[in-house]
Structure 1
């Protein structure tokens, strides 16, 4: 039976958000309420080809808001794209920016926000941290078109420079408003739905097993896991199942907030270096890595995995802790295999010669430091070796 609470509602925590089918129609009025007079709409070529960019631009024009459009964001947002958004924002004299797309577009816009208020390069921000704060309102609105990264609610942006791919974090990176419209996700192909949905599950798993205690983080992480585990397959098999789409969109949002409160684990800590040295997708790297990190964590995290397994119904209460934890690994691995994702890093372009650098970069990640079991350089290298 559909959850009546998922029809339409608003939130003021952790950031203002509107949830509901058709909520994107309120975009123009919301931007006017924020004081916007000219808008930069950032997106990608795929959404432009699908007609969604022009549809959203039309909503802004209907609200008497002039629109500049940029559609050059790639699946792994790079510094050059951040710079292009930042330059267009300035030269077109826009006073608001809308990120229409998945986590890549939202993160690229976050990078442009950082460039706008710090006036420093991304590498400088990686090296020296972010100490500045905006002198003027950023009027940044996120309109996600996937249910995956949770970037619409997190404080971080995953960005790639010629030197590396890392996460930049600032309390000023949360959108001023997020519009969560499940109808915008309905046309997402099954493979992309599966990939982004696996990301939601990995986020929830990381939140629930992170070594950083936070009871509210555990609550939102558990709710994200429960909703995603119950509805991901439905969303993949029938993209027009709006209940499943709504549940996955909410799960993504909740998992993103859980990341802000608790962080994630070594699965993401080992994933980012792989994506830094190759051009693989985030979901594919996660899919290879998660069973190995979960088994590495078993000596200290079996109890947490067992609780998750029982919560989502892949192990009964009569099962031992060890058996329930193994059932969770088996269930998630079977899900990955059903989606046709790779199971070896070699398929993603990783070579053994890269392992020392991968292991070194893994230690730079806050996610690695948040792993349930300490995961040092030698541990990371050994895990990468097993995954080639």
Structure 2
């Protein structure tokens, strides 16, 4: 019998033990035990706790998930699609616009590609808010809102990666609902539709351009979480692969692998249904086809186009059915240690895939085939599922992504460096992601999560 790769051995050993689900509320402070309407973990169709999830059959006819599919966003795709911005502003009636972006894109000349178009719109005024940072804190959204309110903006445009797009989404919501970002982070309901929001991604990964949510880090606690509501869907998403041509290889790798984890996790979600499966499988196939090409040659417009589409398709897919354990564990790495989001997701994906192998072997085996694992009838479905985890790690090596928490520190991607002493804090934060943990195909608890962190230390 094939022996699994060495990095999986401990996880496989643990999986052979009979797992007893822990009490649903045992590890949650009282404030987290009650449903909180806008927390990103509790989006539509969510399975809210591991105990509730235990009886579900992933993708089985015995328990076919009822679902609704909601996507009010207009998608404009194609090389040069940014030039359609004026017609969309006119259609939406926007005349006073706040453009949310970051200083790096401004210095690189990417922002000018949009402002030059806006300068040609005689009836549109705009201001640029370029204070967006990676893994933005709540004040980034609040300060953008203050500027938009001062200027009397009637529309918001986000230009950049997920941080800029999330900031724009948050600002647009606050403009019609008031308050501060953390008010909604802690459960205040979104009562009114956001201002018209146009999102233009310059990376291919986060899916924020088609999401009903924004993610921020609480600057006091370091806890990273999000707010989600149908009233926050963007009005228009413009997918112009030309804007991704200057993306550096490292960003191409981390954002592209993030898109793959979105599709993978949504494919494994207990909420998965035929429409979400179609989206997520196609997204993974596109990424498997084009990510290496885009990483090797950033000027490859076909590869950039494929990745641009794949990221949006995966974003739609996971926005409908939710993410699972990998993202629950990745958010604490970004919130507390500043690890780039895509890097954090990539690092945790192989051990979580191995952990889930006994619960979703057929689906993970299919993911392995997408990643190039040959179909071999001589191997059991479980062996094929474990091979999928190793195939993902092989992709990480090709993209020069770190494979351990220690390597994050050595590369300066974690500030400060992460040690074994930090695992309890990371575990406690991940435990609070109740919705993502509950949608995971395999029931999980505190012991499991800490062991998964330790396996990549």
Shift of 1:219: 0.9
Which has more radius of gyration? 2
Query: What pairs up with 1:96-115 in 2 under 5 angstroms?
Result: 96-115=155-174
2:211 to 130, 148, 154: 154
Q: CA contact under 8 A between 2:292 and 2:399: conserved in structure 1? A: no
SS of the equivalent of 2:292 reads helix
Shift of 1:345: 1.8
Mean Cα displacement is larger for which, 303-312 or 198-207? 303-312
- Provide Cα deviations, 1:216-267, integer angstroms capped at 9, x if missing partner: 1111011111111111001111112111111111110110111111111211
SS of the equivalent of 2:353 reads helix
Mean Cα displacement is larger for which, 338-347 or 48-57? 338-347
Shift of 1:371: 0.9
User: Aligned residue for 1:197?
Assistant: 256
Query: What pairs up with 1:271-350 in 2 under 5 angstroms?
Result: 271-318=330-377, 319-346=379-406, 347=409, 348=414, 349-350=417-418
What's the TM-score, normalizing by structure 2?
Answer: 0.79
Shift of 1:315: 2.2
2:447 to 353, 372, 378: 378
User: Aligned residue for 1:144?
Assistant: 201
1:232 to 286, 291, 296: 291
Shift of 1:79: 1.4
Q: CA contact under 8 A between 2:135 and 2:335: conserved in structure 1? A: no
Quick one: higher RCO (CA 8 Å, sep 6+), 1 or 2?
A: 2
Shift of 1:294: 1.1
Mapped to 2, the partners of 1:100 and 1:60 lie a distance apart of 13
Q: Unaligned stretches of 5+ in structure 2?
A: 1-69
Shift of 1:317: 4.8
Shift of 1:78: 1.4
The root-mean-square deviation of aligned C-alpha atoms, in Å, is 1.7
Matched positions, count: 375
- Provide Cα deviations, 1:94-130, integer angstroms capped at 9, x if missing partner: 2111101111100111221232233232222122242
Mapped to 2, the partners of 1:129 and 1:322 lie a distance apart of 44
What's the TM-score, normalizing by structure 1?
Answer: 0.92
User: Aligned residue for 2:116?
Assistant: 58
SS of the equivalent of 1:203 reads helix
Mapped to 1, the partners of 2:345 and 2:402 lie a distance apart of 10
SS of the equivalent of 1:368 reads helix
Mapped to 1, the partners of 2:420 and 2:170 lie a distance apart of 32
User: Aligned residue for 1:22?
Assistant: 80
